[in-house]
């Protein structure tokens, strides 16, 4: 309602004045955002446009119009679109069969668990497995199918690897939507004589379109930012921009050029964000209320279709399991492809030589996770429920680090925090801050989404009964948005364990990370320790997210709303 | 009133939460004691750590280090130049150091061994000094070679054999110093005739499966048999062999290049005296005689250090072209641009 | 904030009166710019009174209620509870009991905890809380429901919990925002009687919002009719029904036949009208009328008596067009010339029904008729 109208602004300001808790929180959050989102990007921008002491864009024109980089930009968009498309289709298939296929509960639980696996994988895991399986002498291409000289590098393998890694995001976005589409609506269409296919085409699909669009955009953005997979699989014929930016800096020693390329990625990332925010979310037709429990689900598909979908999902799941089995195998043999003697030496290595990395990563994850979770609900709650000046701006700024590829954020932090006034390089704080502000926004969006389903009258009822805004938040809102809090916690933790693109620039003598160690090991051909580290990360993340999921179930009161997913988007 | 108590509590909680990382911050700063120096090592940890341990044994000075690839290490040093975090940049191809000179991140320093080193093993002003030498080699997969009825390549022209079509992996000149060394080797073999050199590289192109981002990136595929062969630094090749992969190392009779590995003092270092101590030690036989002990397959830079016997055996009768760092540095951009235009994407 | 626990509002002499003075509230509308949700609203609620705000949706009744509650702040005007000016006091400090249309029960708390919520906020000790919760649940007919959760309750039960939660804290004021609109018709009637009985027993000043005029008439001491953000008329149900001051009120309360008329003579209290081609004399109090004014004659269906076409009392003649049998009463729609009229007859037996198509006469009970200005002011 009151947006720019002066009456609204006055009311917003007055609201702040009357509520000291709100004012303090807003100020603290703005301080954090200004320091850890705006300042680093401003410094990066300054570094780009200031050359030898004066503002100049000379030299940048060269790199931004270079034929090769332009192709890389186009390739990034193409790859992103394809990953979005294929990942959404696969995710939709999984979601449809899980939500409407009337499967036994144990099967649905298995699907949920196996779909989680790619999301929590450390970088490079699928890429290495792909080379091993589909390379010129790959296990599958050569060993199984007898195809000689098959090229594993290029668009298709990068596409496959990324689609497999990211389709779970589509699944987690679409499942609750498909589950919530009112069975009665479909039943109604059937009663009017429509065949199941027609019902799907004219009722189910249109209702799911905002969700599908949302999933597509999420996958597109994820692919756009991925630099690790193309590093290994894209080959020479298919350069992509995030990798190019990284290599410009580390291969050509051109910080300005690399930073400029990274900023080029800002454009599609922001477009995606704007589209998602202003077009998709305005068209939500379906709200997840969890109310459908009492109905018999509508019979959406013929047994034939269900079997076909299950086959497809089964195939994909098998592929995922195969890759991870390969990973496990690589961690237990001396040298994959050379010496297949069983050994536990690699695990010994990671717990001795790699002990510091493990300690550091877990410490940082332990710091970042609660901070990230709190940040998520604080911003989410303020933006969704409270009115104060600059509310929309705060929401936008909070999403910036999330929307940008990690390379930019990492470089920006490096440049901003190496010099006074605030020197943070070499500390854990810089990495923690990066994680909190980069991955916290998932918690923000989850909180906002959940609050949208919680009627404001609940909080008004609490206020009417005499509870001030802080008490209301604590006793009414917080328990109801607990699922979003845990979702935020889960995401920050997972990303803390598996992130590489931003943090590769932020490690230091004092603090190093498991993912960087994995990259090192792969570069040095030590596949065994790399695989062992990866298995370790997957195991830890599974245990912790399992614990969080249990906590969600314990915490969730009988009447509280369902959370869409632990990891959504 | 309920309001005020609660917000005070929340502020207190927020401050408490902020205190934890602040403490972590303080803790890490305190870790830097007086007899410790900090370094970025481009050499892998398996090699850097034993060397630094030997250094500590010899001098009592502890080295805190973290490993980066050459590109990342230089990027960090450049980004940090207003407030350097380390004292020394340790190891890595000398052409990385050459690139850093332009950015002004090094402090010239000549160790006592400086004078004993040949011109190509040091930068004239002392901005960097070589601590090792690293020849390029051919490495091929035994199974592949046998299947195609070939022998390990003994000449540059052997690599042009159509049997190798789409099977070779070697470094990408845009991102790796190994490639630059390789290309300049080809130039040297062709008497620095650029047209002849580029003609060769264009002929070789169809046989190249992938130009890898990092110098050693192709070693795994060759080891696994996904690629038939490639051109790598000897340390990466011998490592592959040591891991148990069935590969063979060979040299072209026309000769192949070798590039130095360097060390430099960072300008504005917080512990310059300790850094100098490390450089003194590393550029001298004191460190380099340890290569053999730890199976680090570099050729020592210092003339007084004998080559490890098995390494000597491999390098016996091999024709090596030392790559002139100044010449390479001066022409690198032009050559690489030409390579990109004519060889990579013709 | 005074310890509300100490204030025992169950005694009439502690009940508080409410005064709303010239209150306005504007909102920014995306298309229309700024609109007034409530404009210059003034009303007085006597201590212990049951006042209803009645009107169509968008008339400003809920906005006014929320401003009294403190969920909205007026742009102009004042709200007073007794002698306290609470205009800018936050809702949590006004000591009110608010019952929402959708009940707003805390889904994560049991019934007992929901009801206890306000008491815990006020810092009452456990035993006191338990006692009061048990007592109030018994009062609303939900004894023993403490451990249930709202998802397990029916709509009517949830409404009672909401009610219990609001009154257990012994508020100065009870506010209801269309509390019964989500219930089925029978339950609505039952619940409104219970709410009325409870209010009488507890003697808490109550302000009630509804769009259902029958409900308003059933429960209220006085009704405030609102339209387009303004107060249109205030009065008891009978006042509004028998003496509407405007077309709007006439049409909104109950069913009505509105016929064009012209004022031909005024003599103090009495008014003479020209309507339907005849002259009628009414006793009229209220809206200012002058001779010659265009007016509307307000004829309630029960003010028209159906008689034989040749009956001398018949002022009008027409044909029955439709008949709706509703059990205790029968509704007739008739056409007099080209003027449609509704009339009602109480069912006095099967033989009494008038078949459609029959010609009838209509006698007008002028005591039950009223006149209002033609134009809304």
* Residue A151 pLDDT exceeds 60: yes
| B211 contacts: CB under 8 Å, gap ≥ 6 | A236, B169, B170, B171, B172, B173, B179, B344
First to last CA, chain C: 43
Restricting to A residues 435-494, those with a Cβ less than 8 Å away from any Cβ of B are: 467-471, 474
Chain B residue with CA closest to A44: the answer is: B79
Contact C122 A466 (CB under 8 A): yes
Last-in-domain residue among C226, C242, C258? C242
* Residue C302 pLDDT exceeds 90: no
- For A525, the closest of B28, B176, B239 (CB atoms) is B239
Residues C22-66 have pLDDT tens digits of 999 998 877 777 888 899 999 999 999 999 999 998 889 999 999
* Residue C341 pLDDT exceeds 50: yes
Contact B76 A414 (CB under 8 A): yes
DSSP of B143-205, one letter per residue? Answer: HHHHHTT-----SGGGGG-GGGTTTEEEE-TTT-HHHHHHHHHHHHHTTT-HHHHHHHHHHHG
Band (B5; pLDDT cuts 50, 70, 90): very low
Q: Which of residues C92 and A405 earns the better pLDDT score?
A: C92
Average pLDDT, chain C: 87
Band (A478; pLDDT cuts 50, 70, 90): confident
Residues C180-197 have pLDDT tens digits of 988 888 999 999 999 999
Chain A residue with CA closest to B76: the answer is: A505
Residues B299-342 have pLDDT tens digits of 999 988 888 888 888 888 888 888 777 777 778 878 888 898 88
Residues A431-444 have pLDDT tens digits of 999 999 998 888 88
Pair C90, C155 in one domain: yes
Phi, psi of B100 (to 5 degrees): -75, -20
Pair C147, C278 in one domain: no
Contact residues on chain B for A136, CB-CB shorter than 8 A:
166-167, 209, 225-227
DSSP of A485-501, one letter per residue? Answer: HHHHHHHHHHHHHH--T
C-alpha torsion angle, residues B283, B288, B294, B298 (rounded to 10): 90
Pair C104, C220 in one domain: yes
Of B260, B214, B215, B262, nearest to B89 (Cα)?
B262
* Residue C5 pLDDT exceeds 60: no
Q: Does residue B141 sit within a domain?
A: yes
* Residue B276 pLDDT exceeds 90: yes
Pair B275, B252 in one domain: no
Please give the pLDDT value at position B24.
55
Quick one: how many helices (H) and strands (E) in chain C?
A: 8, 20
Q: Specify the CATH number for the domain of residue B145.
A: 3.40.190.10
Pair C61, C197 in one domain: yes
Contact residues on chain C for A451, CB-CB shorter than 8 A:
none
* Residue B27 pLDDT exceeds 60: no
Pair B266, B203 in one domain: no
* Residue A377 pLDDT exceeds 70: yes
Band (A294; pLDDT cuts 50, 70, 90): very low
Pair B308, B176 in one domain: no
Average pLDDT, chain B: 85
Q: What is the mean pLDDT of residues C110-126?
A: 91
Contact residues on chain A for C107, CB-CB shorter than 8 A:
458, 480, 557-561
Please give the pLDDT value at position A214.
79
Residues A73-95 have pLDDT tens digits of 899 999 999 999 999 999 999 98
Rounded percentage of chain A residues whose pLDDT exceeds 70: 86
Among A86-95, A242-251, A289-298, B92-101, the least confident range: A289-298
A418 contact B CB<8A: yes
Residues A11-69 have pLDDT tens digits of 455 555 666 777 888 999 999 999 999 999 898 888 777 766 666 666 667 677 777 78
d(CA A493, CA A566): 11
Q: Specify the CATH number for the domain of residue C253.
A: 2.40.50.140
Q: Is A31 exposed, middle or buried (0-12, 13-18, 19+ CB in 10 A)?
A: exposed
- For A251, the closest of B3, B167, B174 (CB atoms) is B174
Which residue is it, tokens 């209320």? A289
Contact residues on chain A for C121, CB-CB shorter than 8 A:
465-467, 471
Restricting to A residues 507-546, those with a Cβ less than 8 Å away from any Cβ of B are: 507-512, 520, 522-527
Please give the pLDDT value at position C62.
93
Pair C258, C236 in one domain: no
**Based on the structure, what is the number of domains in chain B?**
2
* Residue C212 pLDDT exceeds 60: yes
Contact residues on chain B for A149, CB-CB shorter than 8 A:
165-167
Residue B42 domain boundaries: 33-133+259-312
Please give the pLDDT value at position A183.
67
Q: Specify the CATH number for the domain of residue C34.
A: 3.40.50.300
B50 contact A CB<8A: no
Q: What is the model's pTM? A: 0.77
Rounded percentage of chain B residues whose pLDDT exceeds 90: 39
Residue C351 domain boundaries: 247-373
Contact B1 C121 (CB under 8 A): no
* Residue A447 pLDDT exceeds 80: yes
Contact C28 A5 (CB under 8 A): yes
What is the domain partition of chain A in residue ranges?
345-385+423-569
Pair B219, B104 in one domain: no
Q: What is the mean pLDDT of residues B79-88?
A: 88
β-sheet bridge partners, residue B89? B40, B264
Tell me the range of A345-349, A508-512, B239-243 where mean pLDDT is highest. A345-349
Given a contact cutoff of 8 angstroms between Cβ atoms, the answer to whether A557 and A169 are in contact is: no
Please give the pLDDT value at position A14.
52
Pair C161, C263 in one domain: no
- For A414, the closest of B10, B44, B79 (CB atoms) is B79
d(CA A478, CA A464): 18
Q: Does residue B125 sit within a domain?
A: yes
Pair B212, B151 in one domain: yes
Please give the pLDDT value at position C9.
40
CA distance C76 to chain B (A): 27
Tell me the range of A188-197, A313-322, B104-113 where mean pLDDT is highest. B104-113
**What CATH number was assigned to the domain covering residues A345-385+423-569?**
1.10.3720.10
Contact C121 B2 (CB under 8 A): yes
Band (A224; pLDDT cuts 50, 70, 90): confident
Given a contact cutoff of 8 angstroms between Cβ atoms, the answer to whether C11 and C203 are in contact is: yes
Pair B205, B329 in one domain: yes
Of A76, A177, A174, A162, nearest to A119 (Cα)?
A162
Q: What is the mean pLDDT of residues B71-82?
A: 83
Tell me the range of A96-100, A469-473, B35-39 where mean pLDDT is highest. B35-39
Pair B115, B162 in one domain: no
* Residue A290 pLDDT exceeds 50: no
Band (A388; pLDDT cuts 50, 70, 90): confident
Rounded percentage of chain A residues whose pLDDT exceeds 90: 16
Pair C66, C103 in one domain: yes
Average pLDDT, chain A: 80
Other chains touching C, judged by 3 or more CB pairs under 8 Å: A, B
d(CA B326, CA B321): 14
Pair C169, C146 in one domain: yes
**Based on the structure, what is the number of domains in chain C?**
2
Among B49, B220, B245, the residue to mutate for chain A (most A Cβ within 10 A): B220
Pair C173, C319 in one domain: no
Pair B87, B39 in one domain: yes
Q: Does residue B146 sit within a domain?
A: yes
Q: Does residue B27 sit within a domain?
A: no
The token pair that represents B85 in the structure block: 């975090």
* Residue A303 pLDDT exceeds 90: no
d(CA B268, CA B38): 13
Given a contact cutoff of 8 angstroms between Cβ atoms, the answer to whether C178 and C62 are in contact is: yes
Q: How far is CA C249 from CA A384, B331, C217, C234, C295, in A?
A: 40, 94, 13, 10, 14
Q: Which of residues A256 and B274 earns the better pLDDT score?
A: B274
Q: What is the mean pLDDT of residues A317-321?
A: 87
Q: What is the mean pLDDT of residues A522-547?
A: 85
The token pair that represents A67 in the structure block: 């034929």
């Amino acid at each position: 309602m009151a947006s720019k109208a002066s009456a609204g602004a006055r009311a917003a300001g007055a609201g702040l004045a009357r509520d000291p808790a709100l004012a303090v929180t807003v100020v603290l959050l703005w301080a954090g955002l200004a320091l850890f989102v705006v300042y680093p990007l401003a410094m990066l921008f300054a570094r780009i446009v200031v050359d030898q002491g004066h503002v100049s864009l000379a030299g940048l024109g060269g790199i931004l119009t270079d034929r090769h980089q332009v192709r890389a930009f186009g390739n990034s968009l193409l790859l992103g679109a394809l990953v979005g498309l294929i990942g959404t289709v696969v995710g939709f298939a999984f979601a449809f069969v899980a939500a409407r296929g009337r499967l036994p509960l144990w099967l649905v639980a298995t699907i949920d668990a196996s779909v989680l696996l790619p999301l929590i994988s450390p970088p490079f895991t699928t890429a290495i497995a792909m080379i091993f399986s589909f390379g010129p002498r790959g296990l599958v291409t050569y060993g199984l199918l007898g195809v000689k000289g098959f090229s594993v590098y290029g668009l298709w393998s990068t596409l496959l690897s990324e689609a497999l890694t990211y389709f779970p995001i589509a699944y987690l976005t679409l499942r609750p939507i498909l589950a919530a589409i009112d069975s009665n609506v479909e039943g109604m269409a059937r009663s009017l004589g429509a065949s199941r296919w027609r019902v799907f085409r004219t009722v189910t699909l249109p209702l799911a379109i905002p969700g599908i669009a949302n999933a597509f955009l999420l996958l597109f953005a994820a692919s756009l930012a991925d630099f690790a997979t193309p590093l290994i699989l894209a080959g020479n014929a298919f350069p992509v921009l995030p990798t190019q930016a990284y290599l410009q800096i580390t291969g050509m020693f051109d910080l300005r050029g690399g930073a400029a390329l990274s900023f080029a990625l800002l454009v599609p990332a922001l477009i995606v964000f704007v589209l998602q925010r202003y077009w998709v979310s305005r068209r939500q037709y379906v709200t997840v209320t969890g109310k459908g429990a009492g109905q018999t689900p509508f019979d959406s598909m013929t047994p034939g279709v269900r079997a076909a979908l299950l086959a497809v999902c089964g195939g994909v799941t098998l592929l995922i399991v195969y890759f991870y089995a390969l990973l496990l195998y690589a961690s237990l043999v001396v040298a994959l492809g050379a010496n297949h003697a069983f050994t536990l030496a690699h695990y010994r290595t990671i717990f001795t030589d790699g002990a510091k990395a493990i300690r550091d990563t877990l410490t940082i994850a332990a710091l970042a996770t609660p901070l990230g979770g709190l940040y998520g609900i604080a911003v989410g709650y303020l933006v969704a429920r409270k009115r104060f000046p600059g509310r929309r701006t705060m929401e936008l700024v909070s999403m910036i680090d999330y929307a940008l590829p990690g390379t930019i954020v990492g470089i920006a932090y490096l440049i901003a925090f190496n010099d006074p006034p605030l020197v943070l390089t070499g500390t854990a704080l810089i990495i923690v801050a990066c994680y909190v502000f980069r991955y916290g926004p998932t918690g923000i969006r989850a909180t906002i989404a959940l609050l949208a389903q919680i009627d404001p009258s609940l909080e008004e009822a609490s206020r009417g009964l005499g509870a001030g805004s802080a008490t209301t938040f604590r006793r009414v809102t917080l328990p109801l948005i607990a699922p979003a809090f845990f979702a935020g916690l889960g995401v920050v933790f997972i990303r803390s364990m598996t992130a590489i693109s931003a943090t590769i620039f932020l490690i230091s003598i004092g603090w190093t990370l498991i993912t960087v160690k994995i990259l090192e090991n792969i570069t040095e051909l030590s596949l065994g320790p790399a695989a062992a580290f990866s298995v370790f990360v997957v195991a830890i993340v599974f245990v912790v997210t399992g614990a969080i999921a249990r906590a969600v179930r314990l915490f969730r009161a009988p009447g509280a709303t369902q959370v869409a997913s632990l990891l959504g988007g | 009133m309920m309001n005020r108590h609660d917000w005070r509590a929340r502020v207190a909680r927020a401050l408490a939460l902020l205190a934890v990382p602040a403490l972590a911050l303080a803790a890490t700063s305190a870790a830097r004691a007086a007899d410790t120096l900090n370094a970025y090592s481009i050499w892998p940890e398996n090699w850097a750590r034993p060397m630094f341990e030997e250094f500590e044994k010899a001098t009592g000075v502890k080295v805190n280090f973290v490993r980066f690839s050459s590109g990342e290490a230089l990027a960090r040093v450049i980004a940090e130049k207003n407030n350097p975090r380390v004292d020394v940049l340790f190891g890595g191809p000398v052409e990385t150091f050459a690139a850093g000179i332009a950015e002004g991140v090094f402090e010239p320093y000549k160790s006592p061994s400086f004078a004993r080193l040949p011109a190509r093993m040091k930068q004239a002003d002392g901005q960097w000094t070589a601590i090792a030498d690293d020849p390029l080699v051919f490495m091929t997969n035994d199974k592949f070679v046998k299947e195609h009825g070939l022998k390990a390549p003994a000449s540059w022209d052997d690599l042009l054999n159509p049997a190798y079509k789409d099977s070779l992996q070697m470094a990408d000149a845009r991102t790796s110093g190994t490639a630059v060394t390789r290309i300049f080797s080809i130039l040297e073999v062709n008497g620095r005739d650029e047209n002849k050199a580029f003609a060769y590289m264009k002929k070789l192109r169809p046989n190249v499966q992938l130009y890898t981002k990092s110098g050693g990136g192709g070693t795994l595929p060759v080891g696994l048999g996904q690629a038939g062969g490639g051109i790598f630094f000897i340390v990466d090749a011998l490592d592959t062999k040591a891991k148990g992969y069935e590969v063979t190392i060979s040299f072209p009779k026309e000769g192949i290049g070798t590039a130095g590995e360097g060390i430099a003092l960072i300008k504005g270092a917080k512990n310059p005296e300790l850094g100098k101590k490390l450089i003194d030690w590393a550029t001298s036989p004191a460190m380099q005689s340890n290569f053999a002990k730890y199976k680090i397959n570099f050729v020592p830079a210092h003339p007084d250090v004998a080559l490890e016997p098995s390494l000597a055996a491999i390098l016996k009768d091999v024709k090596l072209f030392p790559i002139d760092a100044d010449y390479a540095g001066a022409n690198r951009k032009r050559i690489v641009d030409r390579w990109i235009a004519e060889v990579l994407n013709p | 904030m005074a310890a509300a626990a100490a204030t025992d509002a169950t005694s009439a002499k502690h009940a508080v009166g409410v005064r709303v003075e010239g209150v306005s509230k504007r909102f920014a509308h995306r298309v229309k710019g700024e609109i007034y949700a409530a404009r210059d609203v003034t009303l007085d609620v006597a201590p212990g009174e049951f006042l209803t705000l009645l009107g169509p949706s968008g008339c400003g009744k809920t906005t006014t209620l929320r401003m009294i509650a403190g969920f909205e702040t007026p742009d102009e005007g004042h709200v007073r509870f007794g002698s306290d000016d609470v205009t800018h006091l936050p809702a949590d400090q006004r000591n009110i009991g608010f019952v929402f249309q959708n009940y707003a029960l805390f889904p994560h708390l049991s019934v007992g905890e929901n009801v206890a919520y306000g008491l815990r906020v006020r810092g009452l000790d456990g035993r006191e809380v338990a006692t009061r919760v048990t007592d109030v649940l018994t009062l609303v007919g939900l004894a023993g429901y403490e451990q249930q959760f709202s998802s397990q309750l029916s709509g009517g039960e949830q409404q009672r919990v909401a009610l219990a939660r609001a009154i257990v804290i012994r508020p100065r004021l009870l506010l209801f925002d269309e509390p019964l609109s989500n219930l089925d018709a029978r339950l609505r009637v039952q619940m409104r009687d219970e709410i009325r009985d409870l209010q009488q027993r507890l003697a808490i000043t109550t302000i009630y919002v509804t769009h259902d005029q029958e409900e308003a008439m059933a429960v209220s001491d006085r009704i405030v009719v609102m339209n387009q953000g303004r107060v249109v008329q205030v009065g008891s149900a009978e006042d509004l029904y028998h003496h509407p001051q405007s077309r709007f009120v006439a049409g909104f309360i109950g069913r009505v036949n509105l016929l064009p008329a012209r004022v031909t003579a005024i003599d103090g209290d009495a008014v003479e009208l020209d309507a339907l081609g005849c002259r009628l004399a009414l006793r009229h109090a209220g809206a200012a009328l002058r001779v010659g004014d265009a007016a509307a004659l307000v004829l309630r269906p029960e003010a028209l008596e159906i008689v034989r076409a040749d009956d001398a009392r018949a002022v009008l003649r027409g044909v029955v067009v439709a008949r709706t049998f509703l059990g205790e009463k029968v509704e007739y729609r008739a056409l007099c010339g080209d003027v449609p009229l509704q009339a009602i007859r109480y069912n006095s037996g099967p033989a009494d029904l008038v078949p459609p198509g029959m010609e009838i006469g209509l006698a007008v009970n002028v005591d039950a008729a009223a006149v209002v200005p033609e134009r809304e002011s």
